[in-house]
Amino acid sequence: MDKTFYLEGFGCSMNSADSERLVGFLESNGFRRLSDPGRAQFILINTCAVKEQTELKMLRRARELSKIAKSQSARFVVCGCLPKINPEALSKTVPLAIQAGPHLEEIAFAIGISPPKHPLKISPVPFNPLVSIIPVAEGCVGECTYCAVRAARGQLKSFSEKVLLKKFKQAARQGTEIWITAQDTGCYGLDIGSSLPALLKKLLASSAKKFRVRLGMMNPRHLASFFDEYLALFEDQRLYRFFHVPIQSGSDKILGAMKRPYKSAVAKTLCKKIRAEFPLATISTDWIVGFPGETESDFGKTAELLREIKPDISNISRFGARPNTEAEQMPVQLHGRAKKARSRALTKLQSRVSLERNRLFLGLEQEIFVSEEGSKGNFVGRNQSYKPVVIEENLLGRFVNVRVEQAFQTYLKGRIM
């Protein structure tokens, strides 16, 4: 029998890595990937469920794919985080779907094949051949009251340095962009007597090749614990000067209700120190507006903190209660109108800040690594600050020098030198 499958993947870089590894696993078992779900024997969707709106999107797409599967008697598998976070909603929406968590062992069982003996050793099939995604850990050590991802990913499990070194050397030989990722990259090693800076030193020392590394999100608490050692590593120009530090709120009262283990002043100090050392570094952060009990004063502190630290990127979410979390049961749940208004206000503020930050690059000559095709027949590279720089020439996979001639809210436009 000709075993064929169709896969759609959603969510964070960790989920993307899971999807790439799933493709590699299935192909190593004799399956052939198709681009048309209407001809596949197995239809899979690797889901994300970190937010309420994301879950609704996943359910809509699952319903659509389920109909396709039913029409051709294909097996439909929903995997990833959603089956662990809200299996009841899935069962109601797509009752014929086979549910599996994010791990290959569960997905193998759902499909009816033998599970891998060494999941981490499965060779992934990259969706972008110029980007290698290397997860360094799974799970976290946090207890955030709003987070449901713990139900899917569990407690921290850091992967061995030996395995990670092998994967990194392979990616470095290709001269690509390398993403180091995890649910919380900053807690790497806490369970095995190591740390993220210790791992990075070994990874960077393992190759003299020219490549670029993007480091994933980390809780301010972890970043503060090794900040000086970590920041010193960015003298190595192979590291993008990109810092994803999710703050979530400028109010210490709300941070306490979220069980975020730091004060807003700690996050502010970290961001200001990054700016002092690397003025053009990109700081990305996350905010949740409308958390239970958030007053106008609390929200005002978030807006004020954004004005002070001027992050290049803000991922702004309206609070939506996730199943089986502490926040779901908290009193003083805010009305949707209030959350929407605060989200709009913060988005408007961030738009101005993002444009202001991007204008700092006007006229600069910088080296970029061209890693993806643009949406309008152009191409996109990343500069040292991980800013997307649009160029017209097809120079995929190359390092090139450009002069930044235009700055927009979400990207720069450059001319080849």
With bands split at pLDDT 50, 70 and 90, how would you rate the model's confidence at 1?
Answer: low
Q: How many whole angstroms separate alpha carbon 368 and alpha carbon 386?
A: 9
CA dist list (Å): 383 to 8, 213, 344, 401, 402: 30, 12, 29, 9, 9
| pLDDT exceeds 60 at position 383 | yes
Q: Which residue has the higher pLDDT, 250 or 152?
A: 250
Residue-range domains of the chain with CATH: 4-119 (3.40.50.12160), 128-240 (3.30.750.210), 241-361 (3.30.750.200), 362-416 (2.40.50.140)
Of residues 118 and 378, more confidence is placed in: 378
Q: What is the pLDDT of residues 235-262, one digit of tens each?
A: 999 999 999 999 999 999 999 999 999 9
Q: What per-residue confidence (pLDDT) applies to 174?
A: 84
Residue type (1 letter), 267: A
Q: Supply the DSSP symbol for 198.
A: H
The secondary element (H helix, E strand) that includes residue 267 is helix 264-277
Query: Residue 370: in which H helix or E strand, if any?
Result: strand 365-373
Average pLDDT over residues 261-284: 98
Mean pLDDT, residues 325-335 taken together: 94
Q: 101-114: string of b/e by CB count within 10 Å (b at 16+)?
A: bbbbebbbebbeee
**Token code pair at residue 299:** 């929200």
Give the predicted TM-score (pTM) of the model.
0.95
Residue 402 β-bridge partners: 366, 416
Indicate the helix (H) or strand (E) that contains 272.
Answer: helix 264-277
CB atoms within 10 A of CB 386: 22
Answer positive or negative: Cα dihedral of 72, 73, 78, 84.
positive
Determine the distance from the C-alpha atom of residue 15 to the mean position of all C-alpha atoms in its chain, rounded to a whole number: 8
359-381 b/e (C-beta count within 10 Å ≥ 16 → b): eebeeeebebbbbeeeeeeebbb
Q: What is the mean pLDDT of the chain?
A: 96
CA–CA separation, 13 vs 134, rounded Å?
Answer: 9
Among 149, 129, 388, CA closest to 246: 149
Closest alpha carbon to 15 in 124, 164, 161, 170: 124
Q: Averaged over 167-176, what is the pLDDT?
A: 90
Residue 110 carries which side chain, given as an amino acid letter?
A
Quote the percentage of the chain above a pLDDT of 90: 96
The pLDDT of 332-358, averaged and rounded, is 97
* Burial status of residue 297 (CB atoms within 10 A of its CB: 0-12, 13-18, 19 or more): exposed
CA angle (53 as vertex; 337, 127 as ends), nearest 5: 145
DSSP string, 60-76: HHHHHHHHHHHHTT-EE
Per DSSP, what are the bridge partners of residue 4? 32
285 pLDDT more than 80: yes
Distance CA 355, CA 384 (A): 18
How distant, in Å, are the alpha carbons of 32, 109, 135 from that of 1?
Answer: 11, 19, 34
| For residue 137, pLDDT beyond 70 | yes
